[in-house]
Amino acid sequence: MKRYVRFALLGALLLAIACGPGRFRTHDVGEVSRGGTQTQHHSVVLFIGDGMGIGIISIGKMYSEVSLGAELNMTELASSGTVGYVTTHSKTGPVTDSAASGTAIATGSKTANGVVGMTEDGDFLDNLFELAARQGIAVGVVTTTSVTDATPASFLAHVPAREMHPEIAEQIVESDAQIVMGGGYWYFLPPDSGMRDNGVNLVEIARQKGFDVVFDREGLESFRGERLLGLFARESMPFERSRLEQEIPSLGEMTEIALDVLRQDPDGFLLVVEGGRIDHAEHDNSISDALGELLAFDDAIGRAMQVQAEDSLITIVVTADHDCGGPGITGDEYGYPGYDDLESLVSEQCPIVQWISGYHIGTMVPVLASGPDHELFGGILDNTDINHRIRSILGL
């Protein structure tokens, strides 16, 4: 019984994450002119759980149902739509990194590990955001990593090496994106408060380009503009269980604001939402942080589902760029764990979970979809197919 007491507080926090869509709004629908308008063309919300293989989904589903008494939002989404599987290999090998897999989803073309938005020979590849913007479709990305990290960068930039964060930041400011939110202010500011050694202040340039630039919850709550660059951490945002709620918005909250803005475009929108730190926790083999990040990601899915219920022209697609770590609940020589042992998933010591590795693995990942044309995502697909099917839905 002591473990129940020890983890009651964290369990309550995770329950709020799993069951609390809609808690955060900067305004009611009628308070500003942009509120309430629905899209007249098809729109897509693409959720990418970085490192989110079937193992962590299985663990999250079991924990949520048994310990929190709540079904995952992605389970409900899958039950109302289509489920498939996705191969993730890169151009150069069976195990991908986030740059190659993000590029495959964003552009529909394979590339080498470490390359963003380009072929391995250096040729630029048009991405979904560029194609959509040319047709007047609003685009945006939300992440828990730095906005310059490999997955969001695949929709915003073209560089031969994913480590080129300052160059990616420059391309973000010059992009047509309407919404960009996550961490990474370090790459936008000069040396007195950041790391840009050329003295250029990209925050000021972003403001000249029409972005409202905000750095905390207060700034986000006061936002009433049309373009938003939200930079809420120096690099990646904190793990969910360490996030200071009074200062830093959650992934679900950022998703909700992004949808409020983008859905005002009558030509439709494309929003990419990355749960980027699932992968980071799995590299650490930390099941507690991986579970917290998964539930926060699922909360964001639930908020998008609420918007989809009001707008039948929105398709929601949930997938991953690759698996990582391969966590699994396992029996051992002493027998099989009981449901009470699921409490250890939120502790520092978790004897019932074992990991294949601390790195990416080449297994297929799931894809879930609901809304118009959701059936396009059934069967066994390649990650490049995700791109082509989204293009079909949006008419790109």
Does residue 355 lie within any of the structural domains? Answer: yes
- The reported pLDDT for the residue numbered 147 is 98
Select from 188, 194, 298, 294 the least CA-distant residue to 239. 294
Domain that holds residue 342: 43-394
**Which domain CATH number covers 166?**
3.40.720.10
Does residue 8 lie within any of the structural domains? Answer: no
Does residue 22 lie within any of the structural domains? Answer: no
Does residue 53 lie within any of the structural domains? Answer: yes
Does residue 4 lie within any of the structural domains? Answer: no
| Count: domains in the chain | 1
For the stretch 307-349, pLDDT in tens is 999 999 999 999 999 999 999 999 988 899 999 999 999 987 8
Q: How many Å apart are CA 279 and CA 254, to the nearest integer?
A: 19
pLDDT band at 393 (very low <50, low <70, confident <90, very high): very high
| pTM for the model | 0.91
Does residue 96 lie within any of the structural domains? Answer: yes
Per-residue burial over 338-365, b = 16 or more CB atoms within 10 Å of its CB, e = otherwise: eeeebbbbbeeebebbebbeeebbebbb
- The reported pLDDT for the residue numbered 288 is 95
Does residue 119 lie within any of the structural domains? Answer: yes
Least confident of 188-197, 228-237, 243-252, 378-387: 188-197
**Adjacent-strand bridge partners of 213:** 229
- The reported pLDDT for the residue numbered 102 is 98
Inter-CA distances, 323 with 48, 240, 251, 317, 330, Å? 11, 20, 20, 17, 18
Region 293-317 average pLDDT: 97
pLDDT band at 160 (very low <50, low <70, confident <90, very high): very high
